[in-house]
Chains A and B, each alone.
Chain A
């Protein structure tokens, strides 16, 4: 049996999101009445609509032929989705300079065209550029070196 995997995939995501919000609402939020709507009124209506649309999309996909899609970027997905998390976890303890070095280096390997040398050069160059533009030029309140590395960088770079 052939079915349209795009429609079935999208429909399943709709149903999943609908169920997630719907169940969170049912188990924790007051729905209230139309006059005095509670915090759960709007979400429960929306989740219901979303689940119905999701099922409709799945049913529609069952009766349509599948189409060809490109290959998945198996390196790109884990790298690109983890880099912001890494940035968020490390920015406060390490400060902007070490974080940019690390995250840019990691990001580089999402592409198969990147060589080790190019990745190192890009990380260092981009880090210096960003510190000049954002920290010194625009004066964003970002610490160049966070408290975890500051005692070691202070004698070399001074207080930043």
Chain B
């Protein structure tokens, strides 16, 4: 009964006209910055923080939350249309979404992403309302051994999901892990691989790495075949998914939502792990795994739902414990403090209108995003008809501005060039870029948790096996690894690989 009265309180706040208006404004802004590659929600929210001073706390947080999940929608739009993932979570969407766009199915991919995200957002909102406090407690049981094991599982899944050679996929992950270590060592302060340049002492900029290996490499690939074929899609077929499409996306959306809701609660790599995990699951369950990487609708539906659900449930630790799961949540905490609200376990009791108002507004916001995005699909798809030689200079300009504005650091642009070169060379030699990116994100966390677990356990490696959650995760990793290495599965992979060449 509590839930009903709480949701009623929330809805009565969220549906006030001015709150609806700011929610819409946030969603709109979020979609825009999501569509412009490079500029993510973090930069936008940081810039808008001072403006929210004049609003009341619930309104300002409703608007900022709208920017956050609006950007998730917008980010998948560029990932699908021009293969530029603005955020880690849309990197997976780019794999099959962009292939769909190339086949003239951009509209269907965008609609799938929008509908999948809406479903995931709705379910995650209910989960947030039902389970926020107990889920937050569960997340506290995750210590370093559990995180380490979880990341091992994530990396092994990434190897499993890569199409083509296992050897190359594993090597790409290791490269990602190594580049993820560039910067000052958390434990000793030692500068690693920075050549004494202070601007490199924080990690390499994620957006620069992602845009380099996906975006620049893609532009170069398109320029390479400029002479013999027109790279952009000329005729865009129907925009709306067919009955067959709906049948194929239903189960992946449900599974993606479940995965995303669970993993999103965990601080750190939750959302990105969720979209990678969902992709792996869908590929494993599919009767036609060879379609993955070539425009499988399941490869868009699952990860998109997973990352949107994860984005939503990542509010749980922030709202209930006052702990940020990602940089955007850190900014939301900043926004609360500016508003005079101290984030933490007390928010739900002392500011119930705020807590439930935000939750209810998320549902309203997700609905608005669908209404906002579905009519726009036609417009986005028309972007594809712009001649490519006019489009790519614009992509380069947006990417450069976006990357520079994150930290005003010119070295981030040099990183972009370096990874453009590396990405293009590796892709040309038949390596997939996605595992590298996952390794890059997880590398520092994997090391951090491994070393912390060993410090706390006084150097006893058995902690990974004596703690039940950690042990379960490691057993799951072994199972996945065994499946991948099974002779029959390997043979099938090799066949697919040969076909691809």
Pair from one complex: yes
A-to-B contact residues, CB < 8 Å: 5-7, 9-10, 13-14, 17, 21, 24-25, 29-30, 33-39, 41-43, 46-47, 49-50, 53-54, 56-57, 60, 67, 69-73, 75-77, 80-85, 87-89, 91-92, 96, 100, 103-104, 107-108, 110-114, 118, 122-123, 126, 130, 133-134, 138-142
Closest CB-CB distance, A146 to chain B, in whole Å?
12
**Pairwise interchain contact A50-B226, C-beta atoms closer than 8 A:** no
**A-B CB contact pairs (8 Å), 29 listed:** A6-B430, A10-B430, A21-B178, A29-B192, A30-B190, A33-B459, A35-B459, A37-B450, A41-B451, A42-B451, A46-B177, A47-B178, A50-B171, A53-B174, A73-B220, A77-B421, A80-B219, A81-B421, A83-B396, A83-B400, A84-B400, A84-B413, A85-B413, A111-B388, A126-B397, A130-B397, A140-B43, A141-B408, A142-B401
Point out the residues of chain B lying under 8 angstroms from A39, CB to CB.
185, 187-188, 190, 192
Contact mask for chain B residues 378-403; partner A; CB cutoff 8 A; 1 contact, 0 none: 00000000011110111011101101
A6 to B429, CA, bound (A): 4
Closest CB-CB distance, A114 to chain B, in whole Å?
5
- From 446 to 501 in chain B, residues with beta carbon under 8 angstroms from any chain A beta carbon are 447, 450-451, 454-455, 458-459, 461, 501
A130 to B403, CA, bound (A): 14
Kindly report which residue of chain B lies nearest to residue A14, judged by CB atoms: B171
Point out the residues of chain B lying under 8 angstroms from A88, CB to CB.
404, 410-414
**Pairwise interchain contact B223-A111, C-beta atoms closer than 8 A:** yes
* B420 lies within 8 A of chain A by Cβ: yes
Contact mask for chain B residues 206-239; partner A; CB cutoff 8 A; 1 contact, 0 none: 0000000000100110011111000000000000
Point out the residues of chain A lying under 8 angstroms from B447, CB to CB.
42
Q: A71-B224, A88-B404 are in contact. Are A138 and B167 (CB under 8 A)?
A: no
Point out the residues of chain B lying under 8 angstroms from A14, CB to CB.
171, 175
**Pairwise interchain contact B450-A112, C-beta atoms closer than 8 A:** no
Number of residues from B at the complex interface, CB < 8 A: 72
**Pairwise interchain contact B417-A85, C-beta atoms closer than 8 A:** yes
Point out the residues of chain B lying under 8 angstroms from A85, CB to CB.
413-414, 417
**Pairwise interchain contact A36-B459, C-beta atoms closer than 8 A:** yes
**Pairwise interchain contact B170-A104, C-beta atoms closer than 8 A:** no
Kindly report which residue of chain A lies nearest to residue B225, judged by CB atoms: A70
Kindly report which residue of chain A lies nearest to residue B395, judged by CB atoms: A107
* B197 lies within 8 A of chain A by Cβ: no
A48 to B14, CA, bound (A): 55
* B284 lies within 8 A of chain A by Cβ: no
* B266 lies within 8 A of chain A by Cβ: no
Point out the residues of chain A lying under 8 angstroms from B220, CB to CB.
73, 76-77, 80
**Pairwise interchain contact A84-B401, C-beta atoms closer than 8 A:** no
Q: Give the 10 A-B CB pairs with smallest separation, nearest first.
A: A35-B459, A88-B413, A88-B410, A10-B429, A76-B223, A39-B185, A111-B389, A73-B223, A39-B190, A53-B171
A81 partner, pick from B47, B181, B216, B428, beta carbons under 8 A: B216
A134 to B32, CA, bound (A): 11
* B83 lies within 8 A of chain A by Cβ: no
A76 to B219, CA, bound (A): 8
* B425 lies within 8 A of chain A by Cβ: yes
Most chain A CB within a 10 A radius of its CB, from B178, B387, B388, B392:
B178
Kindly report which residue of chain A lies nearest to residue B194, judged by CB atoms: A24
Q: A47-B178, A84-B413, A139-B47 are in contact. Are A69 and B404 (CB under 8 A)?
A: no
Point out the residues of chain A lying under 8 angstroms from B431, CB to CB.
10
Point out the residues of chain B lying under 8 angstroms from A130, CB to CB.
397-398, 401
* B294 lies within 8 A of chain A by Cβ: no
A141 to B224, CA, bound (A): 36
- With contacts A13-B426, A85-B417, A134-B39 known, what are 15 further pairs, Cβ within 8 A? A34-B461, A36-B455, A39-B185, A46-B178, A57-B165, A73-B220, A81-B420, A84-B414, A88-B404, A108-B393, A110-B223, A111-B223, A114-B389, A140-B401, A142-B401
Kindly report which residue of chain B lies nearest to residue A121, judged by CB atoms: B390
* B12 lies within 8 A of chain A by Cβ: no
B410 partner, pick from A17, A43, A91, A122, beta carbons under 8 A: A91
Kindly report which residue of chain A lies nearest to residue B431, judged by CB atoms: A10
* B424 lies within 8 A of chain A by Cβ: yes
Q: A13-B425, A50-B178 are in contact. Are A37 and B454 (CB under 8 A)?
A: yes
A118 to B424, CA, bound (A): 27
Point out the residues of chain B lying under 8 angstroms from A77, CB to CB.
220, 421, 424
* B168 lies within 8 A of chain A by Cβ: yes
**Pairwise interchain contact B450-A42, C-beta atoms closer than 8 A:** yes
* B44 lies within 8 A of chain A by Cβ: yes
- From 22 to 59 in chain B, residues with beta carbon under 8 angstroms from any chain A beta carbon are 33, 36, 39, 43-44, 47
Closest CB-CB distance, B88 to chain A, in whole Å?
20
A134 partner, pick from B227, B405, B421, B428, beta carbons under 8 A: B405
**Pairwise interchain contact B459-A34, C-beta atoms closer than 8 A:** yes
A123 to B416, CA, bound (A): 21
**Pairwise interchain contact B405-A140, C-beta atoms closer than 8 A:** yes
* B131 lies within 8 A of chain A by Cβ: no
**Pairwise interchain contact A57-B414, C-beta atoms closer than 8 A:** no
**Pairwise interchain contact B393-A107, C-beta atoms closer than 8 A:** yes
Kindly report which residue of chain A lies nearest to residue B411, judged by CB atoms: A88
Q: A30-B190, A42-B181, A57-B167 are in contact. Are A70 and B401 (CB under 8 A)?
A: no
Closest CB-CB distance, A13 to chain B, in whole Å?
6
Point out the residues of chain A lying under 8 angstroms from B246, CB to CB.
none
Point out the residues of chain B lying under 8 angstroms from A71, CB to CB.
224, 227
Kindly report which residue of chain A lies nearest to residue B390, judged by CB atoms: A122
Most chain B CB within a 10 A radius of its CB, from A6, A53, A82:
A53
* B193 lies within 8 A of chain A by Cβ: yes
Closest CB-CB distance, B82 to chain A, in whole Å?
14
Point out the residues of chain A lying under 8 angstroms from B43, CB to CB.
140
Q: A43-B181, A126-B397 are in contact. Are A84 and B392 (CB under 8 A)?
A: no
**Pairwise interchain contact A70-B393, C-beta atoms closer than 8 A:** no
A37 to B448, CA, bound (A): 10
